[in-house]
Amino acid sequence: MVSADVLPLALGGLAAGVLAGSASCTAVQGGLLIGLAPPRPCGRGLGHGHGGHGAECAAATPAGRGPVAAFAAGRFAAHVLAGALLGLLGGAVRLGPAARAALLVAAGVLVVGFAVRLLRGARRSPAAPAAPAAECGTERGGREPGRARALALGAATVFVPCGTTLGVEAVAVSTGSAAGGALVMAAFAAGSTPAFAVLGVLLRRAAASRFAAAAGAVALLAGLWTVASGLRLGGWLPDLGAPPASAATATVRPDGVQTVTIWATAEGYRPAVVVLRAGVPTEVVFRATGDAGCARTVSLEGRDTVVPATVRLPPRPPGRLRYACGMGMYPGVLHFR
């Protein structure tokens, strides 16, 4: 039984899915949709015979929406289950920054693999016959294959949450019930599903046509970007040296505590690089603009903090402390020296 006070939270989750999730989640999770593309383009020779496979491939793959629907179903089911667990168990089932970083890297590598497969298929000679139906995404009997894979890919998106998802997950936790958490996450997933459906259909059409190489190149960039986001979130990127001369500096209050204010914006953190004194207690005040997006969740020292917030740090030795938004897209650095 869902209490009446959960319904406004569910409506908020729906609005978040439509307005914010459609953009931020497709940017972060949309690369997994490339796994629904056919192994190689089917557009060459369509309707021209080539052993009778062209017309069948054209009917089966470019407009086939079965895998996209399966992806959406897997994503919806996984979010509902996650919402139920969050509402029932709270923060005990939430992934920390390190775990999300590892999953981002893994997802990026997976997308890169799909992109390479698509690019290899696009290199076929234009004069070559169209791919047989079984290779273009149909099995004997006309049923598209890979629906189990599409379900799995859709479900995997719950392990690669966008910044908006992290905020909705916090709302699901606040319901304190499995039914309430499931309802909030279901509303959010439903709100963002149309954007995924449109993107999925467009990707499959592009991958099955003369634009397969372009689709593969975009997917490759998306995969590499996802890997880089995971590396930033995990703090696993190499040290790039001293801070720039234009880096901001902290101010020291009369009580001996140094403080700095960092703004979370839609373009990242401002200032993103701050120089502080080593061996001095520190307060980092995070504030947010109206549309901070992913930057509204700050991952610092292995913990997620929702902005606005004040993070207090004990005296630290010389060195750098990295932080990033909840999905590693926007990094920042605190230099202690």
Res 58 pLDDT > 50: no
Average pLDDT rounded to a whole number, residues 233-262: 88
Residue % of the chain over a pLDDT of 70 = 84
Mean predicted confidence (pLDDT) in 222-247: 87
Contact between residue 144 and residue 138 where contact means Cβ atoms under 8 Å apart: yes
Average pLDDT over residues 281-297: 91
Label residue 64 by pLDDT band (50, 70, 90): low
* pLDDT on residue 49: 41
> What residue spans define the domains of the chain?
6-234, 248-336
pLDDT for the residue numbered 63: 43
Residue 1 confidence class, pLDDT cut points 50, 70, 90: low
In this predicted structure, the answer to whether residue 138 has a pLDDT above a threshold of 80 is: no
Q: What is the mean pLDDT of the segment spanning 146-173? A: 90
* DSSP assignments along 276-324, one per residue: E-TTS-EEEEEEE-TT-GGGGEEEETTEEEESSEEEEE----SEEEEEE
Report whether pLDDT(132) > 80.
no
Band of pLDDT at residue 76, cut at 50, 70 and 90: very high
Q: At what angle do helices 178-207 and 6-16 cross, to 10 degrees?
A: 20
Q: How many Å separate Cα 290 from the centre of its chain?
A: 21
Binned at pLDDT 50, 70 and 90, residue 42 comes out as: low
Please determine, for residue 43, whether its predicted confidence score (pLDDT) is greater than 70. Answer: no
Q: What is the pLDDT of residue 207?
A: 82
Per residue in 180-229, pLDDT (tens digit) is: 999 999 999 999 999 999 999 898 888 888 888 898 999 999 999 999 99
Share of the chain above pLDDT 90, in %: 53
Q: What are phi and psi of 200, to 5 degrees?
A: -65, -45
Residue 13's contacts (CB-CB under 8 Å, 6 or more residues apart) are 168, 171, 172, 184, 185, 186, 187, 188, 191
Q: Which of 27-36, 151-160, 239-248 has the least mean pLDDT?
A: 239-248
pLDDT value of residue 131? 47
In tens, the pLDDT along 78-127 reads: 999 999 999 999 878 888 899 999 999 999 999 999 999 888 887 764 54
Identify the top-confidence range among 25-34, 163-172, 188-197: 188-197
Each as own residue / partner, the long-range contacts of residues 17-20 (CB below 8 Å, 24 or more positions apart, any chain) are 17/164, 17/168, 17/187, 17/188, 17/189, 17/190, 17/191, 17/192, 17/193, 18/191, 18/192, 19/191, 20/164, 20/293
Does residue 54 surpass a pLDDT of 90?
no
Give pLDDT, residue 245.
80
Per-residue pLDDT at 225: 93
| Mean per-residue pLDDT, 46-73 | 58
The mean predicted confidence, pLDDT, of the chain is 84
pLDDT of 254 above 60: yes
Superfamily of domain 248-336: Cupredoxins -  blue copper proteins (2.60.40.420)
Residue 45 has pLDDT above 80, yes or no: no
